[in-house]
Structure 1
Amino acid sequence: MKYSYVVVALGQTAFALDSQHVGLEKRLNNGLGLTPAMGWSSWNVAQCASASEKYALDTANKFVSLGLKDLGYQYVNIDDCWSTKSRNSSGSLVPDPSKWPNGIKSVVDKIHGMGLKMGLYGCVGTMTCAGYPGSWGHETQDAKLLASWGIDFWKHDACYTPCTNGQTPQTCWSAAYNTRAWYETMRDALASVKDTKNIMFNLCQWGRDSVWTWGKDVGNSWRIEGDNWIDWASVQRLASTAGRVSQYSAPGGFNDMDMLIVGLNKLTTEQERLHFGLWAICKSPLILGNDLNKISSASLAIIKNKGIIDINQDKLGKSATTFQPPGSGAPVNGKIHPYWAGPLSDGVVIGLVAINGAGTMSVNFKDVPGLGSGTYSWKEMYSGKTGSGTSVSFSLGQHDMAVVKVTTSGGSQPTQAPTSSASSTSAPPQNTGGGCQVEKWAQCGGSGYTGCKTCAAGSSCSVLNDFYSQCI
C-alpha cells in the first residue's frame, strides 16, 4: 500500500482548530476524494427493492435531465441487497439476476457512457446489515470483482463483525474490538487492484473508535455517527458531532455526515436548507438519499444551489466549525450551534442558524475566525443577496440558515506566503517543470494530478498552499 507523507504549513489564521494539523500526516494515497463525493444512494428510496438496474439507470438519467450532473453529482451508488443471498461455488458475489438481468458490468458501462460513476455496497463482516454476503475473508476476491466490473465507489458497512455475529447487527459497541484493522484489510485489497480500477473507499462504521483520527489513513470518507434516520433529531445529532470533529477533514479524506434527506418530505423547507447548507460547509460528501422522480421543486432548488455546492467543493477542503461571537453561548452536545465559519480558497464561509426560533441573526466580521476589522464584500447563497460592510444580518424563520460567502474588500483578511514541503518520493517526477508552483493539496506526480510536477527524490516542492501539499 502506497502512502504520501504531508508536511502541513499553517499561516497566520484565526481558526484555532487548524493547530491540530501541524506536523507530518499520513493519508490514503489513491488520488481520489480531493473534494467531497457528490451523488446518490439507493437505500432511502425503497430499501432492498431499489438495489437494482432499473433504479441505477433511472437515477443516472435523472442526473442528466435535472441538471445535477452539470453541478457535480456523479456517483450512482447502489446500497444493500444487490447480490444473491449466497456466493457461488467459486466464492464470488453474484448479482441478483431478478434485479440485474443484464449483469452489473453492462449497467456500469452505460453509466460511464453518460459521464457518471457507479458505486456498490458491502460489509466488513460475514453478512451485510440486510443479511447478504459480507466481505469477511473475501476482501481481495471482492476487490478484484469490483475492479473487473469498473465500480468507482465502495461503501463498506460494519454489520456482522466478530462482535455482532449471531446477534442483531449494530448492537455491540465494545471498545475491545478494533474496527480500524477490519477496514485496513479492505483498504489493502482495493489498493491491490488499483492498476485495474481505482475505487473511492467509504468507511461506514458509524463513528466508532474515533474513526476521524485515523480514517484518513484508510479511506476517502468515514461516517462520524450512526445513521441519519430521516428525521430532524438525526440532523441535529449529526451536525453537533460534525462541529466537534471538523479539524479532521481535508482533501483526500472527509468526515461523512451520512446521506442527505432533502426531498423526502420529512423536514420543513427551512430545515432542508439548514440540512443541506451545514452538510455542504462541513465538507461532508453530498450523497442524495431521495427519489428524484418525486422531488419537489423547492427541494430540487436546494440541492441544485450552485453557490453552496461550490463552497462544498472548494479545493482548500477545510470544514467549517462552530465559533462564539461575544455574548453567545458554547456549543451544546446534540444541538445545532447557531454560528459556524470556515476558510475557503478565496475567502471565508459563515453559517448563521436560527436554531432557537425565528428572528434576526447577525454577526460582526471582526468576530469571525479568519476575518478581521475592516470592510468585506459578501453574498448569501440561498437568497442571492449581496453587500459589503463590517457585518451581516438576516431575518430567518425557525430552523432556517443563511450561508454567507465573504471575500476581502479593503479588509484585513489574513494572507499566507508560499511554503515548501519535502518530497517523500523515491522516483523521479513524471514531468519536471522549472519553477512552476503546485496548487493547494497538489499531488506532485501522484495519481490523478495533472498540474506541474516539480518534486523529485530529495528535492523540495514549491507549494502555493494555505494548508496542505502532498508530494508522492
Structure 2
Amino acid sequence: MGKENTMNRRAKGTFLAAALAAIFPLAYGSIERPSLLPTPPMGFNNWARFMCDLNETLFTETADAMASNGLRDAGYNRINLDDCWMAYQRADNGSLQWNTTKFPHGLPWLGNYVKAKGFYFGIYEDSGNLTCGGYPGSYHHEELDANTFASWGVDYLKVDGCNVYAMHGRTLEEEYKHRYGHWHQVLSRMEHPLIFSESAPAYFAGTENRTDWYTVVDWVPVAGELARHSTDILVYSGAGSAWDSIMNNYNYNTLLARYQGPGYFNDPDFLIPDHQGLTADEKRSHFALWASFSAPLIISAYIPALSKDEIAYLSNKALIAVDQDSLAQQATLVSRDDTLDILTRSLSNGDRLLTVLNRGNTTVKSDIPIPWLGLTGTGCTYTAEDLWDGSLQKISSHIAVQLATHATAVFRISLPQACSKVVPTGLVFNTASGHCLTASSSCSVTFQSCNGQASQIWQVTSSGALRPLSQTAQCLTVDDGSVKIQACDTRGSNAQKWTYAVTGNLKNAKTGGCLTEGSVQMKTCLDERNGQVFGLPSGVQLS
C-alpha cells in the first residue's frame, strides 16, 4: 500500500481521472497537468483585511510595497482582487464592468500596472447569479466572463459559491458539481487556461453528516488547481478569536492530505499577519503550519504597514522552500494529544520535515522519538535544521522541543544515505469523529480520543500492512469478521493487507470490506460515510 519514500502521484492522478471521468467527460483534470500550477500560489488578496473596501489605490500601493519590501522577491508574485470590484450591472453586450469610481483607470490598466511590477493578476467571481456581495455572478455567463478576464490580463480566477440553488432535479451537491464542472470545461478550452480556485467545498463544511462535503472534496481536484475547503478565515473587523479561526481551518486541512499533489492544493484560506487579535507566536505558527502543508500562501493584510518582523517571518526562505517543494506532499499527523500536534512529511530531495504545534496555553517540553518520524535506521545519526533560526543539531534517538503557548517548531531533517529509508508513519484517525485507531497489549483495537501514545502511531508497510509502533511485530488483521492485531505474517496474508482509497476508505484484501468506526468492525464499503473515512500518514500510496 505504501511506497516507502514518496507518494506515487501518477497512480493517484490515474485513480482520480478514472473515478471522475463521467463528471468531466470533455476535459482533462488539473491534477493530471501539474504544469499549470506545480506549486501552491503565493501573493495578496484583499478580502480578509478589507472585504468590499477595495479600490485602485489599495492595489497599486500593495504592489509597490511588495516590490520594495522583499515579499515579491520571496515568491509572493500574485495580486488578486476579491468580491465587490464590479459594477452592479453588466454592459449591453452582457460583459462584466468594473466599478469606475473604485477603479478609475480600469482593470486592464491595473493589470498592466501590477505586471510591470513583476506580479501576476487575479480576479474573483461567483458560480451563482450574484456574488456574495450582491454583484453580478457568472451563472450562464461563464465563457463570456472567462474570455473577458483573459482580455484584461487575468491568469487566476477564484470562483465563489454564494447564491447557488439546486436546479433541474439535482441535489445541491450535484448543482455545485455541475456548475464547477462547467467552469472547468470552459477554462480547459481556453488557449491559456486560467488557474481555477474553487470555493465549492466550503459550502458543505461544518455539517454533522459529512457525506456531501466528502463528495465535493473528491471531485474538486480534477476540476481546478486549488479549493477552499472550510469557512473563511476571520476577517479583520470580525467578532471572535482569530487564533480559533486559524485552528479551525488548520484542523480541516489535516483531514485532506490524500487529495494533494503537484497541480492541486488544499486551501485553508488566507494568511492574516496584521490581525490585531494575534500574538507574534500565533502569527508565526499560522505561516509555519501553512508552509508545512504546502498550502497557498496568500496574504490578506495592509502590506505597506507590515512590521519588519512580520516581513521577516513571511520571507523565511527555508519555510518558503518547504511550501514550494516540488513533491507537494502535505504534512500529516503523527501524534496528537490535548496539547501537542506532531506532523511529518517527505521533501523532494529525501529530507524529512518535522512540525510541532503547541495548541495549549502553557509552555511545553517534549522529546520526540526518531521512529515517530518514519525513520527506521538503527545506529543512525541525523542532522536537524531549525527552520526558524538555521541552527543545526545532531539527533540519533529523539529530538527535543520547547514551545511557548501557540508556538510552532519546524525542523528539516537530513538523512544519511545509509539511513535514508522512510516508512509512512502516523495516526490512523476517523476524519468525522477525530478518534484514533489504538492498539492494546491484549491484541484488541479500539477508536479512542487521541492521546499522544505510541499505541496510536502506525507504520504502513509497502506490502499494505499496518503495525503499531508500540508492537511492531503485530499487524492489523481481520480474523473471523473481527479486527485485531496479530503477529505479522511474513508470507503476506490477505487478512493483513489493506488498501487506501482517495475517498478515505481502508479496504481489507481478504474480505473486501471497509474498516468502520464503532466497535472497530468490517462493514460493506459505502459511499463517503462518516464512519469509513480515515486520515493516514503522508507517503501512503492510494489505490
Question: Normalising by structure 1, what TM-score?
Answer: 0.77
Change (3 A) 1:297 1:411: farther
- Residue in structure 2 matching 1:45, options 34, 45, 49: 49
Query: Structure 2 vs 1, CA of residues 361 and 159 (structure 1 numbering), >3 Å: closer, same or farther?
Result: same
Matched, 1:380 2:371: no
Mapped contact 1:11–1:415 kept (Cα < 8 A): no
Residue 426 of structure 1 is matched in structure 2 by none
- What is the one-letter code of the residue matched to 1:399? H
Find the residue that maps to 2:402 and give its secondary structure. Answer: strand
Q: Alpha-carbon deviation of 1:22?
A: 8.5
**Post-superposition shift, 1:337?**
5.5
1:291 pairs with 2:302: yes
**Is residue 30–residue 198 contact of structure 1 (8 Å, CA) maintained in 2?**
no
The residue number in structure 1 matching 2:197 is 202
Equivalent positions of 1:68-467 (< 5 A) are: 68-162=71-165, 177-193=174-190, 195=191, 197-207=192-202, 208=204, 209-210=213-214, 211-230=216-235, 231-324=242-335, 329=337, 338-346=341-349, 347-356=351-360, 357-369=362-374, 372-373=377-378, 374-390=380-396, 391-409=398-416, 412-414=419-421
Gaps of 5+ in 2: 18-28, 205-212, 236-241, 424-538
SS at match of 2:51: helix
Paired residue secondary structure (2:305): coil
Q: How many angstroms apart in 2 are the aligned matches of 1:397 and 1:404?
A: 16
Structure 1 runs not aligned, ≥5 long? 1-8, 165-173, 417-465
Please state how far the C-alpha of 1:175 moved relative to its aligned partner. Answer: 5.4
- Over the matched positions of the two proteins, sequence identity in percent amounts to 26
Question: How far, CA to CA, are the matches of 2:317 and 2:140 in structure 1?
Answer: 43
* CA shift for structure 1 position 383: 2.6
Paired amino acid for 1:384 = G
Which sits farther off after the overlay, 135-144 or 401-410? 401-410
CA offsets per residue over residues 94-125 of structure 1, 9 Å max, x none? Answer: 01111111111111112222221011000000
Q: Distance in 2 between matches of 1:265 and 1:372?
A: 46
Per-residue CA deviation, residues 360-401 of structure 1 (Å, 9 max, x unaligned), is 133122221356442111111113221111222122110100
Secondary structure, counterpart of 1:62 in structure 2: helix
Conserved? CA contact 2:83–2:131, under 8 Å: yes
Larger radius of gyration: 2
Q: Is the 8 A contact 2:376 2:422 kept in 1?
A: no
Q: Which amino acid aligns with 1:338?
A: D
1:203 positional shift? 0.2
Q: Distance in 2 between matches of 1:134 and 1:392?
A: 52
Q: How much does 1:162 deviate? A: 1.3
Distance (Å, rounded) in 2 between the aligned partners of 1:277 and 1:268: 14
Partner residue of 2:3?
A: 11
Rounded to whole Å, the distance in 1 between the matches of 2:9 and 2:363 is 33
**Change over 3 Å in CA distance of 1:337–1:135 after alignment to 2:** farther
Inter-partner Cα distance in structure 2 for 1:21 and 1:192: 24
Q: Are the counterparts in 1 of residues 374 and 422 from structure 2 also a CA contact under 8 Å?
A: no
User: Which residue is equivalent to 2:37?
Assistant: 33
The question of whether the paired residues in 1 share the 8 Å contact of 2:71 and 2:311 is answered with no
Distance of aligned partners of 1:372 and 1:275 in 2 relative to their CA distance in 1, 3 Å threshold: farther
Moved more, 370-379 or 234-243: 370-379
Q: How many residues align?
A: 390
Corresponding residue for residue 444 of structure 1: none
Aligned to 1:430: none
Contact 1:34 1:315 (C-alpha < 8 Å) held by counterparts: yes
* Aligned counterparts of 1:102 and 1:23: Cα–Cα separation in 2: 46
Q: Do 1:33 and 1:253's aligned partners in 2 also have CA atoms closer than 8 Å?
A: yes
Structure 2 Cα separation of the partners of residues 34 and 175 of structure 1: 31
How many Å separate the matches in 2 of 1:316 and 1:143? 30
Q: Secondary structure of the residue that 2:48 maps to in structure 1?
A: helix
Question: Alpha-carbon deviations, 1:144-187, whole Å to 9, x = none?
Answer: 101111101101000011159xxxxxxxxx75544122111112
- What letter corresponds to residue 220 of structure 2 in structure 1? G
Q: CA deviation at 1:410?
A: 5.8
Cα distance in 1 between the residues matched to 2:10 and 2:399: 28
Distance 2:131 2:158 in 1: 11
Q: Distance in 2 between matches of 1:18 and 1:24?
A: 10
Single out whichever of 153-162 and 107-116 deviates more from structure 2: 107-116
- In the other structure, the counterpart of 1:440 is none
Is 1:212–1:255's contact at 8 Å kept on the other side of the alignment? no
Asked whether the 8 Å contact 2:165–2:172 carries over to 1, the reply is no
Between stretches 210-219 and 126-135, larger displacement belongs to 210-219
**Alignment deviations for residues 292-330 of structure 1 (CA, whole Å, 9 cap, x no partner):** 122122222221111111000000110001012xxx64x
The alpha carbon displacement at 1:411 in A equals 5.5
SS in 2 for 1:387: strand
How far did residue 263 of structure 1 move?
Answer: 2.0
Distance 1:148 1:232, change over 3 A: same
Deviation at 1:409, TM superposition (A): 3.2
RMSD: 2.6
* Partner amino acid, structure 2, of 1:152: D
Partner of 1:3: none
Distance 1:103 1:280, change over 3 A: same
Residue pair 2:80, 2:121 contacting (<8 A) in 1 also? yes
Helix, strand or coil at the partner of 2:282: helix
Please give the alpha-carbon distance, in whole angstroms, between the structure 2 residues aligned to 1:316 and 1:134.
36
- Looking at structure 1, the residues matched to 328 and 9 of structure 2 have their Cα atoms a distance apart, in angstroms, of 12
SS at the partner of 2:419? coil
Change (3 A) 1:10 1:359: closer
- Deviation of residue 20 (structure 1)? 9.1
- C-alpha spacing 1:19/1:183, structure 2 compared with 1 (3 Å): closer
Partner residue of 1:5? none
C-alpha separation in 2, matches of 1:228 and 1:415: 35
Q: Which amino acid aligns with 2:185?
A: D
